[in-house]
Amino acid sequence: MLTDLLLAVSFDSLIWWIDVIVKVAVALGAVVFVHELGHFLMAKACGVKVEKFMIGFDIGGYKLSRRWGETLYGIGILPLGGYVKMFGQDDDPSHIAEQMQKSQIDAASLDAVPITGPNGETYYVDRRSYLAKSVPQRMAIISAGVIMNVIFAFIFAVIAYGMGVKYLPCIVTETMPGSPAWKLGLEPGDEIVRLGDRVDPTFLQLRGGVTLADLESGIPCQIRRAADGKTVPMTLTPTQEAGELATVGVGVAQSLELRDTEPVDEDSVAASARLVSPAEDSIKKDEAKFRGGDTVASVNSVPVENFRQYVAELAKSADKPLEIGVRRPLKDADGNVVMGPDGKAEKTELLTFEVQPQPLCEFGLVMEMGPITAVQNDSPADKAEMKKGDLITQVDGKPIALVGESLRDSQGASAAADAATWIDPLTLPEYLQRAAREGREVEFKVLRKASGETDREELSFRIKPVVPIAIHSETPIGAPVAADAVGIAYRIENVVQAVAPSGPAASTEIAAGDRVIGARIIFPVDKKGKTPDPPVDVELGPNHPNWPWLVDAVQFKPQGTRVELRFLRGESKEPRTVQLEPQPADRIFIARRGLVFEPIFRVRKAATFSQAVRYGWEETIESLTMVFRFLQKLGRQVPFKMLGGPGTIAVAAGDAASQGLSSLLIFLTMLSANLAVINFLPIPLLDGGHMVFLAYEGIRGRPANERFVLAMHMAGFVFIISLMLFVIGLDIQRWIL
């Protein structure tokens, strides 16, 4: 029975993959086909004899082909690109004299047309030769491929919007700590309804717009607030780290439906949740757990209708068990879920699970406090006039682990004995949230450096924290820690302040004052004796404040996960190494419990043909202009490592194909626009290069000198081959290594 089930699953998976691969192959072939079809049709219209029409390259003569009339049609063995071979034409402009000689006929023939060679000599060539055509006619033939790509990009988009295009809306699920969106105070449920001139942008348009935005003036937006439904203007000003893309720190919109595959993190408390209702013995054992397709309906009997309400409830009770109710679709007698016209299951059942608090996995190291890096607009800290650069020294009279010899002895030995009286910078957000739930004020003492001075003055603030309505599901590399209860983000340095006497690091040689410079996360072997994931390395140091990321990276990881820390002691430049196993902290919890949700998708479908044409036109123009903007900022605002080769294109096409035909057509719109623009760049070997040589011929009255053309041709060849090797190398690094 189990074998039959596995075979059925494997067969279904194989059929799905075959379907995706076939769609991708046909789709990519279609883009190449329409390009070459443009050359072919224009050549025929201009009276040029077409000898070959090939999709792919017939390397070594290997191809599937058939001749109709004067043209050989075929599919080459190398399925990359294609070509149209015209009588008297060669893709290498340096062969123009050779082609002229091959095209020559008797000057007395009625089919003879006089043309001028590179050196001013006169040739009589067949009127059906490519060379016999005027410069404008040849320009039309060369540009027809690009024009056809633009036309079909538009057609693909019109068809797609006629069918309905699935897209990710710009609904805020979370903001990254300290990011521009976080500083503006964007909350879960807020929606970006206007981005520059675009109304109701998609998340991909937001990401593209941010990547290519003006980093100084930012992007004017309109935000519809979830709290009151009002639309307010804002300016999102992206930030960019060296070697990375610009970002504003907005995460993908999340629904309340659990992901179909891996609905919970395997090593989270959600994976071991206990079924409360109905009784466990009333349903099958494998159904008495969270399953893909379940939709969260309540938290502690409080109904939740969206992700904003869900995370608000989580933030209130990080340290307490939760009862999470989910709606599970019911199946009919044939084992199928009956869907209603709104795309939701017609019949569901309510199940309630008890989910325990999720302990923070810790290292037993207290790291030094860093300065405040950002203050959230209109937050309690902002109203109290806390500022970026302030260094928090105490909270409620308890010292914060920060740089200072007063918290160490003269030899820099461990201050473990005092660690219990400190507030760990890593757990400060949880401390402030607890104060918010208790409704009490918190006293801060900070050191502030006056402009142009080296000394800092000590200031005191009394701030009443608020219970946040947001949680952070991840901490990006280099991101600070966010204390949302008061609205500050601050760095945690990679310098050890103390070693907890009973923590995982207590039995190692690492001590107060040591500077952590790197870490490697090593995952345990599974039941089959294999390591499911390769080790993960991260750099730390003065310019890489990645300790919060490292701590976040070991949450929800299997027992036995080890971390290898590399550190320096004193003035030594010789790194030392220790290994430790992170352990659950005592009475310190994180709000998220390990449920994994599907993103929110909407469908944009044209109601009329004219609307489909308008949507298609906007999509095509945006795809074309996006390529130009990308090329303008390549190497400056857009790192070269963001380029992709055939592998990236194939993966992206496969992902689009897996989402449906309309998504694949939108991808082809983008790809066709890319091909049109790239192919028309003034680079020898490309259509744009041919256009440059033709323009030169039109102005001068004869083709360019062969030696010059050959030199330019070789330079273009070297450039294109180098570029191809570079992007293929990036593909290998990105997807294989």
Average pLDDT of the chain is 85
Residues 439 and 343 in one domain: no
Least confident of 40-49, 208-217, 226-235, 525-534: 525-534
Residue 453 has pLDDT above 70, yes or no: no
pLDDT at 19: 65
Looking at residue 285, the DSSP 8-state letter turns out to be G
User: Do 238 and 183 touch, CB atoms closer than 8 A?
Assistant: no
pLDDT for the residue numbered 404 = 42
If asked whether residues 400 and 349 sit together in one domain, one would say no
Q: Is the pTM of this model over 0.85?
A: no
Residue 258 domain flag: yes
Residue 372 and residue 339 share a domain: no
Of 324, 359, 394, which residue constitutes the final position of a domain? 359
pLDDT over 80 (residue 524): yes
CA distances to 205, 284, 294, 297, 685 from 288, in Å: 40, 7, 12, 17, 63
Which amino acid appears at position 484 of this protein? Answer: D
Q: 307 with 286, same domain?
A: yes
Q: What is the per-residue pLDDT for 20?
A: 64
Residue 137 — very low, low, confident or very high, per pLDDT cuts 50/70/90?
very high
Predicted confidence at residue 42, as pLDDT, reads 93
Tell whether 320 and 387 lie within a shared domain: no
Band of pLDDT at residue 412, cut at 50, 70 and 90:
very low
> Are the beta carbons of 490 and 369 closer than 8 angstroms?
yes
> Is the pLDDT reported for residue 77 higher than 60?
yes
- Average pLDDT over every residue of 208-212: 88
Q: Scan for tokens 């109905």, then name that residue.
A: 278
Mean pLDDT of 717-733: 85
* Cα-Cα end-to-end distance for the chain: 38
Least confident of 91-105, 288-302, 365-379, 645-659: 91-105
* CA 677 distance to own-chain centroid: 23
Asked if residue 375 and residue 520 are part of one domain, the reply reads yes
Which residue, 359, 378, 394, sits at the end of a domain? 359
Distances (CA, A) of 225 to 167, 171, 307, 500, 723: 21, 10, 14, 43, 45
Q: What is the CATH number of the domain that holds 272?
A: 2.30.42
Residue 231 domain-assigned (yes or no): no
In a domain, 392, yes or no: yes
Q: How far lies 30's CA from each of 43, 55, 160, 329, 624, in Å?
A: 20, 9, 15, 40, 19
Sheet harboring 398-399: ordered strands across?
398-399, 391-395, 442-449, 456-463
pLDDT at 616 over 50: yes
Report H helices in 561-686: 609-633, 646-658, 661-679
Q: Is 191 domain-assigned? A: no
134 and 156 in a single domain? The answer is: yes
Q: How far apart are CA 227 and CA 485, in angstroms?
A: 17
Contact criterion met (CB below 8 Å) for 429 and 488: no
Query: Comparing 377 with 724, which gets the higher pLDDT?
Result: 377
> Which amino acid type is present at position 85?
K
Residue 561 sits in a domain of what CATH number?
Answer: 2.30.42.10
**Least trusted range by pLDDT, from 42-46, 99-103, 592-596:** 99-103
> 144 or 27: which carries more pLDDT confidence?
144
Hey, is 55 helix, strand or coil? Answer: strand
Backbone conformation region of residue 439, classed left if phi is above 0, alpha if psi is from -120 to 50, else beta:
left
Give the residue among 240, 195, 251 at the shortest CA–CA distance from 216.
240
Q: Does position 307 have pLDDT exceeding 90, yes or no?
A: yes
- Lowest average pLDDT, out of 210-219, 263-272, 653-662, goes to 653-662
Q: What percent of the chain has pLDDT over 90?
A: 42
Helix or strand run (H / E) with residue 436: helix 428-438
Task: Answer whether residue 173 is part of any domain.
Answer: no
Give SS3 for 202: strand
Does residue 379 share a domain with residue 326? no
CA distance 295 to 292: 9
Within-domain flag for 100? yes
The DSSP code sequence of 114-154 is EEE-TTS-EEEEETTSGGGS-HHHHHHHHHHHHHHHHHHHH
Residues 6+ apart with CB under 8 A from 513: 408, 412, 495, 496, 569, 570
- Residues 503 and 443 reside in one and the same domain: yes
Residue 449 forms part of a structural domain: yes
Per-residue pLDDT tens over the stretch 341-364: 766 777 889 999 999 999 999 999
CA-based nearest residue to 288, from 278, 302, 301: 278
pLDDT for 89 equals 76
pLDDT of residue 633: 84
CA 368 to CA 408: how far, in whole Å? 12
243-291: per-residue pLDDT in tens?
Answer: 778 889 998 999 999 998 899 998 899 999 999 988 777 788 778 899 9
> Token pair for residue 108?
């007395």
Q: Return the pLDDT at 415.
A: 44
Mean pLDDT of 146-164: 94
Asked whether 267 and 302 are in contact (CB, 8 A), the reply is: no
* Cβ(41)–Cβ(20) below 8 Å: no
Final residue of a structural domain among 562, 581, 600: 581
CB 234 within 8 A of CB 221: yes
- Residue 222: Cβ within 10 Å count: 14
The most confident of the ranges 520-534, 601-615, 695-709 is 601-615
Does residue 407 register a pLDDT over 50? no
Q: How confident is the model at residue 611 (pLDDT cuts 50, 70, 90)?
A: very high
Q: Is the pLDDT of residue 556 over 70?
A: yes
680 and 533 in one domain?
no
**Domain assignment of residue 295, given as a range:** 254-359
Residue 7 scores a pLDDT above 60: no
Looking at the structure, do residues 386 and 259 belong to the same domain, yes or no?
no
Q: Is residue 312 part of a domain?
A: yes
Provide the phi-psi class of 418: left if phi over 0, else alpha when psi is between -120 and 50, else beta: alpha
And the tokens for 107?
Answer: 């000057």
pLDDT band per the 50, 70, 90 thresholds, residue 440:
very high
Both 433 and 459 in one domain: the answer is yes
Q: Do residues 198 and 212 make contact, with C-beta atoms less than 8 angstroms apart?
A: no
- Residue 550 scores a pLDDT above 90: yes
- Total domains in the chain come to 3
